[in-house]
């Protein structure tokens, strides 16, 4: 079967390699001609994970039409701020039944919609949509190091279809019907990783990191439950699993960005240095309308948004968090 992958960043490249080495024919869409040329001629992505030779089952295309021709499934691996544009672009090239799995993480800024909601609004038939999320750093997945992920869909048939496709000897795939919970966790953990990175950059210690991770998990759970998801999802691979990996790993761009913020650097500085999108910087803004709509407190998220987008001082913001009123540990989750 041919599988189309939309997006040739680090995560798209890693998933292409995972599928290609499993024997699937993979066509990866990239917007840069030099990326397409290098993948097709040298089996290397020159911009991301360039030390890995890619499977010869992988080819690259500049056009959606070529990438999607005769595809049996599609994986979308683009930054969250491009989701709607990608959905619209796919409309002319996919039928109403083609299975699509969304591997991007985030919330649409203008609408507050999650990825599956965006794609359903553009393409219809939400039953053929799934999301993939978990503690899955591209740098390790592409090397075949052991890992696991969760695939969520409102259709058990769609979830099982993608579970089989992505499962390998070293990459375990679990299924879930809690699409909203998995998507909220996926967006949320990046914000908390920025907070942990800032704390680390300020030299605040492991206890502070643990504080931010567990209280961040509580924020994640409150919003998940308020939006109809399951609190238990937040304890699984898409929640606690991805939170731990993203907050503690040397591979985490969100944590690294937080460390740079503590040193006085900006989002532009990070983007120029890495060519990567910091999803947590976007999510701390896009989660705010959801928190307001569902009347959920997100104090860590609010502080990170203030630091990144509203000019708040890092040290003052940290003090404000510590001076919040004392509460029950699991308030808002009854």
Active site residues: 189
> Which two tokens mark 19?
């599928």
Cα–chain-centroid distance for residue 188?
9
Query: How many alpha carbons lie under 13 Å from residue 121 in its C-beta half-sphere?
Result: 13
Distance CA 10, CA 12 (A): 6
> Which two tokens mark 131?
């999301």
- Give residue for tokens 């987008």: 309
User: For 55, which DSSP code?
Assistant: P
Name residues whose C-beta falls within 8 Å of residue 147's C-beta, 6 or more positions apart in sequence: 134, 135, 136, 140, 141, 170, 171, 172
Sheet of 73-76, strand order: 58-61, 25-29, 2-6, 73-76, 100-102, 129-133, 147-152, 171-176
C-alpha distances in Å from residue 36, one per residue of 44, 60, 107, 267: 9, 5, 29, 28
Residues 24 and 2 sit within 8 Å (Cβ to Cβ)? yes
């Amino acid at each position: 079967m041919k599988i189309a992958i939309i997006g040739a960043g680090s995560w798209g490249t890693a998933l292409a390699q995972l599928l290609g080495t499993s024997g699937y024919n993979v066509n990866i869409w990239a917007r840069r001609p030099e990326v397409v040329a290098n993948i097709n001629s040298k089996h290397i992505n020159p911009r991301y994970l360039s030390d890995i030779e890619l499977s010869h089952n992988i080819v690259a295309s500049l056009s959606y039409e070529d990438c999607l021709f005769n595809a049996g499934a599609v994986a979308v691996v683009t930054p969250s701020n491009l989701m709607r544009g990608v959905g619209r672009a796919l409309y002319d090239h996919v039928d109403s039944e083609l299975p699509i799995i969304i591997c991007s993480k985030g919330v649409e800024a203008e609408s507050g919609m999650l990825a599956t909601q965006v794609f359903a609004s553009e393409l219809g038939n939400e039953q053929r949509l799934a999301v993939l999320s978990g503690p899955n750093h591209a740098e390790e997945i592409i090397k075949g190091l052991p890992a696991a992920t969760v695939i969520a869909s409102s259709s058990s048939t769609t979830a099982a279809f993608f579970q089989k496709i992505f499962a390998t000897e070293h990459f375990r795939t679990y299924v879930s019907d809690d699409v909203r919970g998995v998507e909220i966790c996926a967006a949320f953990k990046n914000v908390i990783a920025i907070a942990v990175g800032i704390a680390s950059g300020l030299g605040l210690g492991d206890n502070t990191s643990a504080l931010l991770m567990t209280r961040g998990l509580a924020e994640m759970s409150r919003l998940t439950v308020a939006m109809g998801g399951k609190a238990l999802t937040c304890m699984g691979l898409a929640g606690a699993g991805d939170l731990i990996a993203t907050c503690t790993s040397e591979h985490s761009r969100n944590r690294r960005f937080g460390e740079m913020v503590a040193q006085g650097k900006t989002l532009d500085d990070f983007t120029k240095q890495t060519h990567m999108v910091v999803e947590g910087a976007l999510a701390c803004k896009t989660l705010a309308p959801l928190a307001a709509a569902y009347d959920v407190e997100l104090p860590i998220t609010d502080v990170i948004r203030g630091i990144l987008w509203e000019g708040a001082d890092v040290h003052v913001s940290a003090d404000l968090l510590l001076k919040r009123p004392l509460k029950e540990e699991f308030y808002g989750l009854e």
